[in-house]
Structure 1
Amino acid sequence: MLELDHITQHYDGRPLVQDVSLRVAPGQTVALLGASGSGKSTLLKIVAGLQTPEAGRVLWAGQDLASVPPERRGFALMFQDFALFPHLDVRDNVAFGLIEQRQPKAQARADAEALLQRFGLAAQARQKVWTLSGGEQQRVALARAIITRPRALLLDEPFSALDADLRQQLRDEFSKRIAESGMACLLVTHDEAEARAMAQQAWRLQNGRLVPLW
């Protein structure tokens, strides 16, 4: 269980997030909606450990993660800018997390190729990521985010650069994988239709506070 416990954060002297509490169960997707600058991405950074909240706690299975660095939380975070490694090809970008976990490189690459096949990118496996289109780069980032089977998946507008057909395909793929693997997923999106397609629960972040949508 991922828990946000009374999180508070200010920005430029104004309250960005005020006393926010939220729970995401394993296998569940919870969506966060809100206007640009409402604090959605800030919450993801706090959960990931990239930003320390002024008040409140992030917990996993009841454990306070304040002293746990981002790389040891077992969470995967995907932002809109993808953060792919330009010096690596597509396959090794996807395999990177498995190799960091000390999986043999040959097996990590085989797993990456299998996932790229499912994402429609098998033909691009040996290309440099900077040669890909924006939508293709987004699919690479999505594959890299889930290949390590993180215990929590943090997604910031993950399907924004994709066409409608591929967006639906990947929504279905992610929903299936989240349920099967028991990942807790926190989805930031501006698209209510996307939230309804993936999430069992949704909240709007408005004036720093969560308002339930369903």
Structure 2
Amino acid sequence: MLELRDIHKHWHDAPEWPLLSGVNLRVDAGETVALLGASGSGKSTLLKIVAGLEAPEQGSVWFDGVDITGWPPERRRFALMFQDFALFPHLNVRDNVAFGLIEQRVRKAEARDRAQAMLARFGLAGHGDARVWTLSGGEQQRVALARALITQPRALLLDEPFSALDAHLREQLRDEFRERITEAGMAAILVTHDAQEAQAMAQHAWTLREGRPQPLW
């Protein structure tokens, strides 16, 4: 279970204005919680605080009853996915997926075998040797998800992951991501501006207004 307790943060360039003002949030294993709100409402900042990329000015981040606020990102074992996929153009598809395992000091041969097996689960078994720029947008997003899941992260943090894709592909991938999150038993936070996307993927949704989350469902 992932918990945010009384998270506070001010704008960097306007410290008199609160960006996040006492955010409390709970996400259970296998559950997706959506965060909606206007641009600049603090959604992405909150996600970075959860990931350990930014520190809260006040409050704490907890996982399974342990305060992890001071932990660096690599110790938290959370996966963060952005809308631009953040794939490595100099690596082939298989090595993109294996990258996180190699960073965890898994032997390269084993990491590549596990990456190939993960690609097969995503219907991409024949693309292991391909360069990522040769794939379609949907295929690249599946590679990004495979790379995120192969390290068995404890939580998945999604920042507008489908906004660059066409409507049909967005709908298809929403269903796939929801199934994968439930299957893996991860806590997931989805940052989006799209209410339909939130309804398709999340069991609960909140909107950030004036630095505070308000429940939508």
Q: Normalising to structure 2: TM-score of the pair?
A: 0.90
- Using the TM superposition, give the Cα deviation of residue 65 of structure 1 relative to its aligned residue in structure 2, in angstroms: 1.1
Moved more, 176-185 or 67-76: 176-185
- Using the TM superposition, give the Cα deviation of residue 133 of structure 1 relative to its aligned residue in structure 2, in angstroms: 4.5
Q: Is the 8 A contact 2:84 2:164 kept in 1?
A: no
1:82 paired to 2:82:
no
1:125 alignment partner AA: G
Secondary structure of 2:164's counterpart equals: coil
Cα RMSD over matched residues? Answer: 1.9
Q: Is the 8 A contact 2:23 2:212 kept in 1?
A: yes
1:100 paired to 2:125:
no
Q: Whole-Å Cα distance in 2 between the matches of residues 97 and 128 of structure 1?
A: 18
- Gaps of at least 5 residues in structure 2 are none
Q: Is the 8 A contact 1:24 1:184 kept in 2?
A: yes
Q: 2:191 aligns with which of 185, 188, 193?
A: 188
1:191 alignment partner AA: D
Q: Is the 8 A contact 2:84 2:161 kept in 1?
A: no
Residue-by-residue CA offset, 1:17-40 (whole Å, 9 max, x unaligned): 111010001111100011111111
Q: Is the 8 A contact 1:138 1:161 kept in 2?
A: no
Q: Is the 8 A contact 2:30 2:181 kept in 1?
A: yes
Residue-by-residue CA offset, 1:82-121 (whole Å, 9 max, x unaligned): 2222221111111111222333333322332233344344
2:81 alignment partner AA: M
Q: Whole-Å Cα distance in 2 between the matches of residues 26 and 5 of structure 1?
A: 17
- Gaps of at least 5 residues in structure 1 are none
Which residue pairs with 1:10 in the alignment?
10
Q: 2:142 aligns with which of 128, 139, 145?
A: 139
2:40 alignment partner AA: G
Secondary structure of 1:46's counterpart equals: helix
Which residue pairs with 1:163 in the alignment?
166
Q: Whole-Å Cα distance in 2 between the matches of residues 109 and 162 of structure 1?
A: 28
Secondary structure of 2:91's counterpart equals: coil
Q: Whole-Å Cα distance in 1 between the matches of residues 192 and 177 of structure 2?
A: 15
CA 1:149/1:199 → structure 2, altered by over 3 Å: closer, same or farther? same
Q: Whole-Å Cα distance in 2 between the matches of residues 120 and 169 of structure 1?
A: 14
Between the aligned residues of both structures, percent identity stands at 71
Secondary structure of 2:39's counterpart equals: coil
